[in-house]
């Protein structure tokens, strides 16, 4: 496991998946239909249990204040701080590696109870899996 530090909060606009895990791909496709892909923008998958079920959000960093409102999307803030993390290489070949990596990260004993499981898509092949640590 590694530690990743977010130096500042990240405002993320998102599309919520209708179900987990079945609705993940559809949520990402809908998100990418709103705004053309941009290599300079950060893309995320954000999930956590809420009311007994896992809620998944396909998201991207807001390019400017109010972008989410303009696109009729909700936002969530990825809070600055330290995150336990691990990079999954070539995830499209073995997507189950993402879930396996989160299962491992979730064993850390200092997780923020209000944190999210965050997939930070580094490129088309690699994703950094992260969970925020307590301050």
3 pLDDT higher than 90: yes
Mean pLDDT to the nearest integer, 87-108: 94
Q: What is the pLDDT of residue 1?
A: 83
Structure tokens at 41: 């923008």
What's the mean pLDDT when you consider all of the chain? 94
Q: What is the pLDDT of residue 113?
A: 92
26 pLDDT higher than 90: yes
Q: What is the CATH number of the domain that holds 24?
A: 3.20.80.10
| Global pTM value | 0.93
Q: How far apart are CA 116 and CA 93, in angstroms?
A: 24
Mean pLDDT to the nearest integer, 118-135: 95
Mean pLDDT to the nearest integer, 49-76: 94
Our count of domains for the chain comes to 1
Q: How far apart are CA 129 and CA 118, in angstroms?
A: 6
Mean pLDDT to the nearest integer, 15-42: 92
Q: Which domain range does residue 114 map to? A: 2-132
> pLDDT band for position 135 (50/70/90)?
confident
Q: Is 135 helix (H, G, I), strand (E, B) or coil?
A: coil
């Amino acid at each position: 496991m590694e530690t990743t530090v977010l130096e500042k909060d990240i405002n993320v606009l998102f599309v919520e998946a209708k179900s987990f895990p079945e609705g993940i791909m559809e949520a990402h496709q809908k998100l990418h239909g709103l705004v053309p892909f941009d290599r300079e923008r950060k893309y995320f998958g954000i999930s956590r249990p809420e009311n007994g079920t896992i809620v998944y959000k396909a998201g991207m960093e807001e390019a400017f204040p109010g972008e989410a409102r303009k696109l009729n999307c909700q936002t969530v803030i990825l809070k600055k701080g330290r995150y336990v993390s691990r990079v999954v290489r070539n995830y499209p070949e073995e997507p189950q590696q993402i879930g396996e990596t989160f299962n491992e990260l979730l064993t850390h004993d200092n997780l923020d109870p209000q944190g999210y499981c965050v997939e930070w898509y580094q490129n088309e092949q690699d994703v950094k899996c992260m969970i925020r640590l307590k301050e």
